[in-house]
Amino acid sequence: MTAIETHVQYSSLMMTTTGEYMTQEDDWERDLLLDPAWEKQQRKTFTAWCNSHLRKAGTQIENIEEDFRNGLKLMLLLEVISGERLPKPDKGKMRFHKIANVNKALDFISSKGVKLISIGAEEIVDGNVKMTLGMIWTIILRFAIQDISVEETSAKEGLLLWCQRKTAPYRNVNVQNFHISWKDGLALCALIHRHRPDLIDYSKLRKDDPVGNLNTAFEVAEKYLDIPKMLDADDIVNTPKPDEKAIMTYVSCFYHAFAGAEQAETAANRICKVLAVNQENEKLMEEYEKLASELLEWIRRTIPWLENRVAEQTMHAMQQKLEDFRDYRRVHKPPKVQEKCQLEINFNTLQTKLRLSNRPAFMPSEGKMVSDIANAWKGLEQVEKGYEEWLLTEIRRLERLDHLAEKFKQKSTLHESWTTGKEELLSQKDYESASLMEIRALMRKHEAFESDLAAHQDRVEQIAAIAQELNELDYYDAATINARCQGICDQWDNLGTLTQKRRESLERVEKLWETIDQLYLEFAKRAAPFNNWMDGAMEDLQDMFIVHSIEEIQSLITAHDQFKATIPEADKERMAIMGIHNEILKIAQTYGIKVVGENPYTVLSPQDISNKWEAVKQLVPMRDQMLQEEVARQQSNERLRRQFAAQANIIGPWIQIKMEEISHVSIDIVGSLEEQMSNLKTYEQNIINYKSNIDTLEGDHQLSQESLIFDNKHTNYTMEHVHVGWEQLLTTIARTINEIENQILTRDAKGISQEQLNEFRASFNHFDRVSNTWSNKHIIFFYLQKRNGMMDPDDFRACLISMGYDLGEVEFARIMTLVDPNNTGVVTFQAFIDFMTRETAETDTAEQVTASFKILASDKAYITVEELRRELPPEQAEYCIIRMTKYNVGDAPPGALDYISFSSALYGESDL
């Protein structure tokens, strides 16, 4: 066979066996294949490569075309590199024995998927160098290069990509091929330094010393990496284009030598990924703990303030307390409502991330569970409600106290005015020097006084009753009231004693006196009750009143109208009394009696009666005006009630409708999760925009309270329950958005499609048969009792069976522990989704992480601090060092760490 024929066969062989990554060469490159320098490089490289494997069987070759001619070492080489047994070789030394052995080797190569074209056992037996080198190159390709895979590339391209990535950080290295890129030796040194920086000081290498660089790489590789020297530095440097096959063969030895390091790098990447998840989760846990602590501390500080029921003494001070409470409801509490909602959202998001990363559920510190915060918040709202009721009760009490105190003062002033001088009058002894007429006059005068005194008894009793009520209502200035009341009572007792003594004195001398003037006496007797009636009328006309409704003021108007109806009869009595006085004057004029001085039986004069009567008549229209003004005020209050009710009767149902709409979003399958999220964001913005209506209603509520309006028959909605409904609506929309976010997170993390998620939801909805119910508690406000989005165990079992699960009791019990770990008796949609995604997706496990650590630890049951710091980034390495426990089994060195229990603890499988 000629050299040209051999070259053509060799080129054809290369295209067939390496067609997946080799291209047809041009004429220039085809000519170079005949270059003796290339042949020399291939002979040296292929011989060294074969010996690196044959030495494992205790033999080697010296001349590549001679030592493979009988086929024995060729078969042995294939057995060593493949780990398989070939057919038993022929032991004869005849040509046909050799051809048979070579054919057995070639058949084995063909059985590995390699097509050999234009090459036969005869060429190898005859020692054809080109065909022998081509056959060895075919073996190298199949067993050393073909299985190399980096990302989506393999064989030659995979090996080239591996070299490029490993040498990318190094200066003066740019690997683009397997010939020119390796001439200066820096690429080989970079590969060694990347994996074993302790063997080469790369910073001392020079680009202008290619021979030194190559020899350094060859020597280090042979001495420390067990890679024999397959190339000659001078041949590579002095060849315009080194042989690609020789370079590729030599470089592939580095790939296989560092395969363990590649596994370690992959293992380190897996560990870093797992640790990053744990670090992020721990950060979220710390943020939850901090936010929960701050919210609970705020509740702890706020409750004592709301429980402080020390009443103020004045109406102004209590109204200031009410204003402080309104400020708390408007300014201080709403941000805390948002914090509570955000806390629940953070908790749900964290639990979702933990489930997606196959981590144990987060258990907050004692007393900081979401349920603990909800209970604390519930306690806050209960205290808050009680505080507001107490404030309003106290304001009503103080209003009543102020009214009673003013009434006490008015009646006391009238009584004290009447008693002025009475004790001095009763203490006089004028009867001792009086005439008979005068003594009789004094007697009648005293009788009139007793009548007047008896008439005032009712007023004194009223004063005492008012004082007693002020004491029972804990009036702040009760001491002053009591002192004044005691003075009035003591004076009243003294007046009674003095009156009795004077009567006894007058009766003793009554028989001495006979003259009596019947007309004066009749005047006095009739004038006194009438005067008392006018006093009572004036007192009633000036009496203060407090009402809270149109009906109450109308009742006062009716009573006033009834009083006005008695005025004509009273006027007749007045005319009769004045007629007595006129009769006295007529008799005196008729009989020439000179009337000197006042009526001896009464201090009341006709002028007094006339003046007081005029006063009564003037007070009547004044009373009319007061009542009409109160009618106007009550009508204004009624308008405020209707104004508040009109808004409340719109806002209340609006909140109810929005709650119903939101409750269906997570149940109904309408579009993708992103579309649902967009719809929910629109709902949320609409709800936020509606806040101005709540503020307007709050303003109307404040006006009502400032006007002391505490009831409203026109609506069943109070401001307190509107607040509760509004806060529940904000919390519900935020929670629903968070649920959709978690579903998106679950879908993306687990790689499930929108169609799968819709199928899961459709299956869930079919068996979620509990409908919305509404409760109108005490006809005050609505509370949404929502169980949509939940299934009981029986429905859940039916759902699983409908989806193809073959469930026994034990298996179903196991599944229920996954979807309902707290044994609540219901399965939520989120728990259902988590279960279905766990069934269809793969996640990293404790076993996988343990296997990765085992690679980094070189198959040891423990790992050292130095190994962690060498294989992992600093942050992840220190994370492991701090948390791993010591490994004290056997003869482990000091500082050995237990990576197995650490890996289990990452997934909640130990108590570490």
What pLDDT score was predicted for residue 456? 85
**Of 272, 288, 310, the domain-final residue:** 272
- State the Cα–Cα distance between residues 413 and 459, nearest whole angstrom: 11
- Position 835 in a domain: no
- 717 in a domain, yes or no? no
Per DSSP, the residues of 261-309 read: HHHHHHHHHHHHHHHHHHHHHHHHHHHHHHHHHHHHHHHHHHHHHHH--
Residues 6+ apart with CB under 8 A from 438: 430, 431, 513, 600
In the DSSP assignment, the letter for residue 884 is: P
**CATH code of residue 476:** 1.20.58.60
Same-domain pairing of 204 and 312 = no
885-886 vs 897-898, strand pairing mode: antiparallel
CA-nearest of 410, 401, 631, 403 to 541 is 410
458 and 363 share one domain: no
Q: Which residues pair with 791 in a beta bridge?
A: 827
Distance, CA of 912 to CA of 904 (rounded, Å): 8
pTM as predicted: 0.55
In a domain, 849, yes or no: yes
> Same domain for 221 and 323?
no
Identify the domain boundary among 555, 576, 604.
604
Asked if residue 84 and residue 230 are part of one domain, the reply reads: yes
pLDDT attached to residue 33: 47
Q: Are residues 153 and 171 in the same domain?
A: yes
**Which candidate, 324, 315, 473, places its Cα nearest to that of 395?**
315
DSSP for 99-157, written as a single string: HHHHHHHHHHHHHTTPPP-S--HHHHHTT-HHHHHHHHHHHHIIIIITT-EETTEEHHH
Residue 834 falls within a domain, yes or no?
no
Q: Cβ–Cβ contacts within 10 Å for residue 637, how many?
A: 20
> Could you tell me if 880 and 860 lie in one domain?
yes
Query: What pLDDT shows up at residue 666?
Result: 60
Domain finish residue from 370, 403, 436: 403
- For 232, other C-beta atoms within 10 Å of its C-beta total 19
The Cα–Cα gap between 803 and 826 comes to: 19
CA dihedral (59, 60, 64, 69) in degrees, to 10, reads -10
Q: Quick check: is 20 in a domain?
A: no
Segments forming the whole domain that contains residue 335? 280-403
The closest of 291, 288, 295, 283 to 364, measured between CA atoms, is 288
Residue 70: DSSP 8-state: T
Residue 168: the pLDDT is 86
CA atoms of 865 and 894, how far apart (whole Å): 10
CA distance 351 to 344: 11
CA 180 to chain centre: 62
DSSP letter at 329? Answer: I
Residues 6+ apart with CB under 8 A from 830: 348, 352, 739, 742, 743
Kindly state the percentage of the chain with pLDDT values over 70: 87
* CA atoms of 905 and 899, how far apart (whole Å): 10
If you ran DSSP here, which 8-state letter would residue 416 be given? H
* Residues 177 and 199: beta-carbon distance below 8 Å: no
Compute the distance between CA of residue 517 and CA of residue 497 in angstroms, rounded to an integer: 28
Query: Within the chain, which residues score under 50 in pLDDT?
Result: 1-34, 512-516, 591-593, 770-787, 910-912
Residue 744 placed within a domain: no
- Asked if 585 and 547 sit in the same domain, the reply is yes
Q: Are strands 781-785 and 773-777 parallel, antiparallel or unpaired?
A: antiparallel
Eight-class DSSP state of 549: S
Question: From residue 544, how far is each of 407, 409, 538, 539, 613 by CA, in Å?
Answer: 7, 11, 12, 9, 21
507, 565: one domain: yes
Instruction: Residue 90: give its domain's CATH number.
Output: 1.10.418.10
Q: CB burial class (10 A; 0-12, 13-18, 19+) of residue 768?
A: buried
Instruction: For residues 460 and 389, state if they share a domain.
Output: no
Q: Cα(266)–Cα(260) distance, rounded to whole angstroms?
A: 10
The answer on 357 and 225 residing in a single domain is no
**Measured distance CA(881)–CA(495) in Å, rounded:** 100
- Please report whether residue 75 resides in a domain: yes
Closest CA relative to residue 15, chosen from 30, 32, 34: 30
Considering the domain architecture, whether residues 290 and 380 belong to the same structural domain is answered as yes
**Structural domain includes residue 534:** yes
One domain for residues 208 and 60: yes
Q: How far, CA to CA in Å, does 734 sit from each of 346, 362, 783?
A: 11, 21, 18
Residue 840's pLDDT is what?
Answer: 62
Domain harbouring 903, CATH code: 1.10.238.10
- Is 354 in a helix, a strand, or coil? helix
Whether 415 contacts 488, CB under 8 Å: yes
Q: How many domains does the chain have?
A: 4
Q: How far apart are CA 145 and CA 138, in angstroms?
A: 10
Inter-residue contact 366 to 435 (CB < 8 Å): no
